[in-house]
Amino acid sequence: MDRNNIIGFLLIFLLLIGYSIYMGQQEPTAPPKQQTQAKAAAQAPAATTPAPVDSATAQRMYGDFAQAATGEERDIVLENKDLRLTLSNRGGRVKEVLLKGYKTYDQKPLVLVDDRSASRSLRIPTRNGEVNLYDLYFATNDAGGSVQRDGDSLRVAFRLALGQDQYVEQTYTLRGTGFQVGYDLKVNGLEGVLGNAPAQLYWRQRLKNFEKDANMSQLASSLNYYTAAEEFVDVGENSLGDDDAADTEPVRWFSLKQQFFLSALVARGAPFSSIQARSYVEPADTTQTKMLEATLQMPISDLRAGKGRFDYYFGPNNYEIVKNVTDGFRENVYLGWPVIRVVGRFLILPIFHFLEGFVNNYGLLIIVLVLVVKTILFPLVYRSYISLAKTRVLQPEIEQIKAKHGDDMQKIQQEQMKLYGQVGVNPLSGCVPVLLQMPILFALFSLFPNLIEFRQKAFLWANDLSTYDSILNLPFSLPGYGSHVSLFAILMTLSSLAFTYYNSQLTSSAAMPGPYKTIQYVMPVVIMFVLNSSPAGLNFYYLVSNLVTIGQQLAIRSFVDEGAIRRKLDEYREKNKDKKKTGFSARLEDAMRKAEQARKDADTKRNEVKKQPAPSTKKKK
């Protein structure tokens, strides 16, 4: 392995560290158009339980809707095999959402939304000012029961009537399976009652901690929305600061995203006309991961025209599910940067979900995934090994060049490139296959913390592959490492060191400068610090990947004849000794020759300056 290869590997390691730091510490800035009205969402009114009011007060506060200001709260439950939805006639609103197939990290029922964690209001304009519908009591259709069946779907309609054919109606439809809830908001016959200002939905959610790694969950939480112009915006992703955004572009949907779960509202009819969003952390509250707030405007004319059709989504942030909800909804599952996202979406995820159909144990599935990916990448590994073998058989001649030119590094490099050109070796060909593998490496780095399939799946000593494994909790916290010891991270590091040692045996020790010999062993230890708090599944993947790579290289070494490689290089040199150089080697050699000539010219000029007599310092009389 020559210096170019070593530098290539070093850059790869640095890229990995930089990416992991970016994932853990970056605080994204909202696009310029979203930074107007920075704190407006924070000032939106919260929904509160109204105190009993007398008729005069009710008339003053609610105007034409005063008759609905008092009543008795009653809950109605809609339930399918995935979801239990509790609705309240006070406001005709969603009161509580329980996900049936999931538990918190401490095995408690996973209540995604409730009145203790959520504060909401739905305000409509009237001739007497705004009225919060969530303060008022709605009636249900009790003639045939509050809950009506339509095939395998359940439906509840809440109506607040002012007179014949004058009403506000909210209808909820829960399908027989799945996590989507149909929601229709309709205003009928209230032209003389309502104003022309837009209706306003406000939703403030205190995200409860459902995961073992609260820090990871906190960073992964964000308020996301998708505009009619097909722009996906996240507010608060990878940030622990106070982030906000404002957008007057019509909005198709918005979601309150936790690491593995979503509460979202999708516009099926007319889009929301604008959104104001905010994400922040309340340090004093250790029971929550993040506070998310959204204020959305809806033209009242759309509600009058029957365009207030929506779908709630309360469920897992599972790529295979959310990709079918609506356009752009799959973006809630973070798959990395754009190029990395393509690799994850079209290569890693299809393979992963295909293997899920055959392998039930997710630790074994990771092993199979490694074997499949390594098989796909084997041609690149083979090319990298052959490139390394070519530079290794040329090592004696390279040593002669170094002995001939001593400390003249520029001349050594020039002669070395000339040698490579003579025998037809591209010195970058060893790094290129490795670099081509990097998108897959980064795709996996993004996928493992965000794939809910690994959540609470046990393997060996790890009881949850979606978060770090811990064999020892430290009484203190080491900077950059944490307060626990991950055995998978240690084993991954040992496998990296073994791989490094094996590679060094394939390279002449004289070919590797002293500092690089040290760096190649230090880097795996540095990465261990970075990955100690990463998901156990990710570290296990890297562990198996290192072992398989060593096995591949041992297999290649067993049938690659370096003597035959040497003979081919000599044949190439003999065949092309009188041939004019073209392509990369010719351009590189010409560039190095010009650089050498420029250096000589600079030295000559410097020597001429030194030979000139110093200017006289005597003063004229």
Indicate if the alpha-carbon torsion angle 425, 426, 431, 432 is positive or negative.
Answer: negative
HSE-CB at 365 with a 13 A cutoff on CA atoms is: 23
**Per-residue pLDDT for 236 more than 60?**
yes
Helices 536-559 and 431-447 cross at an angle (nearest 10°) of 160
The answer to whether residue 621 scores a pLDDT higher than 60 is: no
pLDDT reported for residue 363: 95
* Dihedral sign of CA atoms 492, 495, 500, 501 in order: positive
pLDDT, greater one: 110 or 55: 110
C-alpha to C-alpha distance for 50 and 65, rounded to whole angstroms: 14
Cβ 235 vs Cβ 278: under 8 Å:
yes
DSSP assignment letter at 189: S
φ/ψ (deg, to 5) at 445: -60, -30
> Would you list the DSSP string of 589-612?
HHHHHHHHHHHHHHHHHHHHHHHS
The answer to whether 246 and 275 have CB atoms below 8 angstroms apart is: yes
d(CA 66, CA 54): 10
Q: Where are the alpha helices (DSSP H) in 357-408?
A: 362-393, 395-405
Question: What residues contact 533, with CB distance under 8 A and at least 6 apart?
Answer: 213, 215, 216, 468, 482, 484, 486
**Can you give the pLDDT at residue 121?**
94
Q: Which helix (H) or strand (E) holds 49?
A: none
CA distance 338 to 191: 48
Structure tokens belonging to residue 302 = 């759309």
How is residue 336 written in tokens? 């990395």
Report pLDDT digits (tens) over 163-193. 888 999 999 999 999 999 999 999 998 988 8
CB atoms within 10 A of CB 192: 8
Element (H, E) at 263: strand 261-267
The dihedrals phi and psi of 45, each to the nearest 5 degrees, come to: -75, 145
pLDDT of 429: 65
Q: How confident is the model at residue 592 (pLDDT cuts 50, 70, 90)?
A: low
Of 217-221, 320-324, 548-552, 588-592, give the range with the top mean pLDDT: 320-324
Q: Are 524 and 493 in contact (CB under 8 A)?
A: yes
Per the DSSP assignment, residues forming a β-bridge with 160 are 168
Task: Give the span between the Cα atoms of 402 and 44, in whole angstroms.
Answer: 73
**3 state SS of 80:** coil
Residue-level pLDDT at 392: 78
Tens digits of residue pLDDT in 411-437? 777 777 777 777 777 766 666 667 777
Question: Taking a C-beta distance cutoff of 8 angstroms, is the pair 183, 311 a contact?
Answer: yes
According to the model, what pLDDT value does residue 134 have? 94
Task: Report pLDDT for 140.
Answer: 86
Return the pLDDT at 31. Answer: 38
DSSP 198: P
User: To the nearest whole number, what is the mean pLDDT of the chain?
Assistant: 82
How many helices (DSSP H) and strands (DSSP E) are in the chain?
Answer: 16, 22
Strands 243-247 and 482-485: unpaired
3-state class percentages of the chain: helix first, strand second, coil last, to nearest 5: 45, 25, 30
- Which stretch of 221-225, 557-561, 612-616 has the lowest confidence by average pLDDT? 612-616
42's tokens: 């924070």
Residue 495 CA, distance from chain mean position: 27
Q: Decide if pLDDT at 69 tops 90.
A: no
Confidence at residue 21, expressed as pLDDT on a 0 to 100 scale: 47
pLDDT in tens, 524-578: 888 888 889 999 999 999 999 999 988 988 888 888 887 887 887 777 777 776 6
Domains of the chain: which residue ranges?
Answer: 32-326, 347-456+536-574
Q: Are strands 166-174 and 482-485 parallel, antiparallel or unpaired?
A: unpaired
**How many whole angstroms separate alpha carbon 352 and alpha carbon 343?**
12
CB atoms near residue 433 (< 10 Å)? 18
- Report whether 465 contacts 540 (CB < 8 A): yes
End-to-end CA distance of the chain: 69
Q: What is the pLDDT of residue 54?
A: 60
Q: Please provide residue 81's backbone torsions phi and psi, each rounded to the nearest 5 degrees.
A: -75, -15
Tens digit of pLDDT for each residue in 251-264? 999 999 999 999 99
For residue 122, what pLDDT is reported? 95
Fold of 32-326: Beta-galactosidase; Chain A, domain 5 (2.70.98)
**Span of 74-83, 195-204, 216-225, 572-581 with lowest mean pLDDT:** 572-581
Q: CA 354, CA 356: separation in Å to the nearest integer?
A: 5
Q: Global pTM?
A: 0.80
pLDDT at 6: 47
pLDDT tens-digit readout, 115-157: 999 999 999 999 888 999 999 999 986 544 578 888 889 999 9
Residues 6+ apart with CB under 8 A from 382: 556
Residue 466 in contact with residue 497, Cβ under 8 Å?
no
Q: What is d(CA 178, CA 248) in angstroms, rounded to the nearest whole number? A: 32
- Sign of the CA dihedral with 303 first, then 306, 308, and 312 last: positive
- Reading the block at residue 599, the tokens are 């250096």
Q: Is 297 helix (H, G, I), strand (E, B) or coil?
A: strand
Q: In whole angstroms, what is the distance from residue 173 CA to residue 183 CA?
A: 7
Residue 485 CB burial class (10 angstroms; 0-12, 13-18, ≥19): middle
The DSSP 8-state label assigned to residue 346 in this structure reads: I
What's the CA gap between 26 and 327, in Å, rounded? 27
Higher pLDDT, 556 or 28: 556
Q: Are 23 and 215 in contact (CB under 8 A)?
A: no
Tokens found for residue 456: 């609470």
In the chain, the percentage of residues whose pLDDT exceeds 90 is: 46
Residue with tokens 């041609």: 379
